[in-house]
Structure 1
Amino acid sequence: MKKRIVAATLLALGVQQVYAQSSVTLYGLIDDGVNYINNVQTAGKSAHGKASLVFLSSGVLQGDRWGLRAIEDLGGGLQAIGVLESGWDLNTGAMQQGGAQFGRQAFIGLGSSVGTVTLGRQYDLLLDFISPTTSALWGGSYVAHISDIDNLNNTYRVNNALKFKSQPVGGVTIGAMYSLGGVAGDVTRNQLFGGGASYAFGSLYVGIGYMNARDPNVSVYGGNPSGGGAKVNNIGATTLAGVQGNPAVSGYASAHSKGILAIGGTYTIGTGKIIANYSNVRFKGLGDVSAGPNPLGYGGSATLNTAEVGYYQYVTPTLLLGGGYVFTKANNAGGNLAKYHQGQIGADYFLSKRTDLYATLVFQKASGTDSTGQQAVASINGVTPSSSDCQMLVRLGIRHKF
C-alpha cells in the first residue's frame, strides 16, 4: 500500500512538472498622441473644402492591443501554441479591425525545431519578412507607404489562413501561407496565397515576399467582420462626391486580383541601421463587378511601384532618431499617372524599457491623376486626404507596453 501511495505521489509530481513547462501570458500595449495636420478635405475635393485639424489618435507607433499567448510543451520538442489578440481605439473605447473581438490575431497551431504551422486569422508574410526593412519602428503607421498599398504596415490581416514559417537554418528562414476563400463551388474565389524568405548574417538582413489575393475588394479590404470592401472608401457606385478616404486605390474595387511583390534589406553600422525596400503592387482584371463597383468603367490593370530608403540610430541608449524618404509611382488605369513624394523624420525617447515618448513629422506631395480619375491629392496614410497636392502632419505621442 505504501509503495502505491509513493508511486501515485511521484506520478502526480511528474504531471505537475510537465504542466509547469506550459504557460499563458497576458500582454498589451497602449499608444496615444496629439496630431496636427495642415490641410484635410472637409467637403470633397470638387467643393475645395479644406481646413487644418488638431486631434487625438491612438495606435499609431504600434496598434493598441491586449492579448493572450498560450504555449504547452507536448514533449519531444513539440509545442502547442495559440494567440488571441484584440485591438481597440483608446480615445473612444471602440473595437478596431471592423469590430472583431480578436481582430488583430486569433490562431492555434504547433511548433517544433523545424518551424510552426498555424491556423486562423493571422499576419501575412510580407509583415514577417519585409516590415523590418521599413521606418515603422520609429514612425508607425503615418510613415507607411501611401494607403499602405503593400500592407507592410499591417493594415489588413488574413482570415481563414494556413501558415507555415520555418526556424532559421544557416541564417535562412522561409514561409508560406494559403487562405481558403470558403465559397461553395469556387475554390479560388476570395482565396489568398503567398510566400517569403529572409536571410540574416552579421550586420546584413534581406527579405523577400509575395502575396496574391483573388477578389481583393472582399478578401483584403473586406477582411474585417464589418468590412464591406473597398467601396467603403467613398468611391460609391454612382458618385465620387464627398470626402475620398483612399483616393490612391479606391477606384480599383472591381479588380479580379491584387498581387504584391516586395523586397527589402537592412545593414547595421554600430548603433545605426540603413533600411531600403521596394514593392510592386498590381491590380489586375479591372472591371470584375462581381468583386466590386466600377463606376469609372476601368479595364485592364493598374500598377503602383514604391521605393523607400531611410536611416535610424540610437544616439544614446535611450534616444532613437530616424528619417526617410518614400516615392510611389502609380501607372493608373486609363493611362493616368500619379506620383507621391514623402519625407519623414522622428525621435523616440525611452523613459524606461516599457514607456517612451515620441515625435514624428511627415510631409507628402502628389502630382498627376489618381485612381478616381481626378487630380492626385496628398494622402498621408491613416488620415483624411488633403484638398491639394501637399499635406503635412506632426504627431507627439506616448507608448506603454505591459
Structure 2
Amino acid sequence: MLYQNLSGYTGYQYSWVDNSAEYISPEIAGFQGMAMYSFGGAAGDFQKKSAMSFGASYKIGDFMAAAAYFNGRDITGAIDSTTARAYTAGANYGFDAFKFMLDFANFKNPARGTSDNLYTAEFSYAPTPFWTISATYIRQDDRVTNDRNASLYKLGANYSLSRATSLYSFVGYVKNNRLATLGLQNSTPAGVPGGNQFGVAIGVRHLF
C-alpha cells in the first residue's frame, strides 16, 4: 500500500485504531462531521503512538462531498514523531444510470520527508438494473521525485444474478516509473519498483 510504504501504517490502521474515542455528529441540513482520537496504548503517555482524525461531509440530493484529515505518530513506538499524515477530499454525483467520482489524497511521512498525491476519477454506467460498467483512472504524483510517479487504468463490468450474487470482470494496466510500486489492486504494491502490471480477472462475488 502506498501509505504503508510511506509510513509503516496499513490501510487497516487508517480505518481502525485501538484505544480510541470517536464522535459522529447527527446530520444537519446535509452536513455531518466526525472526530477521532486514539490514545496509543503507551502507559502514562497519551501522545506516544497516538492518532487523530477529523472529517466532514455534505449531501444534497444525488451529490455528496467529503473531506478528512489523519495524523498518526509512529505506530511501533520506536520514535515519538508523526510518521503518517493524510489529507483527502472528494465528491460524487449520480443521475439516472450514471455515477461520477473525483478524489484527491495526499499521504506523507514527515519523519522521512516523503509526500505523494493521488488523483482518482471513476465513472460507472448501469444500462439495465443488472449490468454496471465502470472505468477508473488513478494518478500517483510523488512530490519528491518523478521516479515514483505512476498511472493506473482499469475497466470493469458487473452483472447481478441476484441481490447476493454477481459476476464481475475487469482488465487493468499500471505504468510505473523507475521507483514506483503502484499495483493493479491499488492496495497491493507491485512486486518490484518500476514493474508495470497488466491483469484480467473474472469471478463470482457472493454476499452472506
- Is 1:359 matched up with 2:176? no
State the TM-score, normalizing by the size of structure 2: 0.85
**Superposition deviation, residue 285 in structure 1:** 1.9
Residue 138 of structure 2 corresponds to which residue in structure 1?
A: 326
Residues 158-204 of structure 1, C-alpha deviations (whole Å, 9 max, x = no match): 22221111221111111111111111243211101011011000121
- Is 1:279 matched up with 2:105? yes
**Superposition deviation, residue 263 in structure 1:** 0.2
Residue 338 of structure 1 corresponds to which residue in structure 2?
A: 148
Runs of 4+ in 1 over 4 A off after TM superposition: none
**1:3-402 matches, cutoff 5 A:** 147=1, 149=3, 154-156=11-13, 157-216=16-75, 218=76, 256-286=82-112, 301-332=113-144, 337-369=147-179, 376-377=180-181, 379-380=183-184, 381=186, 382=188, 384-386=190-192, 388-402=194-208
State the TM-score, normalizing by the size of structure 1: 0.46
Residue 80 of structure 1 corresponds to which residue in structure 2?
A: none
Residues 299-342 of structure 1, C-alpha deviations (whole Å, 9 max, x = no match): xx11000101120121110111100110011134xx67420110
**Superposition deviation, residue 154 in structure 1:** 4.9
Q: Percent identity of the aligned residues? A: 24
Structure 2 CA distance for aligned equivalents of residues 181 and 362 of structure 1: 39
Q: How many residues align?
A: 199
Q: 1:255 to 1:396 in 2, by over 3 A?
A: farther
Residue 226 of structure 1 corresponds to which residue in structure 2?
A: none
Structure 2 CA distance for aligned equivalents of residues 198 and 189 of structure 1: 29
Residue 7 of structure 2 corresponds to which residue in structure 1?
A: none
Larger relative contact order, structure 1 or 2 (CA cutoff 8 Å, min sep 6)? 1
Structure 2 CA distance for aligned equivalents of residues 361 and 165 of structure 1: 38
Structure 2 CA distance for aligned equivalents of residues 329 and 383 of structure 1: 15
Q: Give the letter for the 1:379 counterpart.
A: G
Which segments of 5 or more consecutive residues in structure 2 lack a partner in the other structure?
5-9
- Partner secondary structure for residue 148 of structure 2: strand
Q: Give the alignment's Cα RMSD to 1 decimal.
A: 2.6
The structure with the larger Rg is 1
Checking the alignment, whether the CA contact within 8 Å between 2:146 and 2:177 is kept in structure 1 is: no
Structure number with higher helix proportion: 1
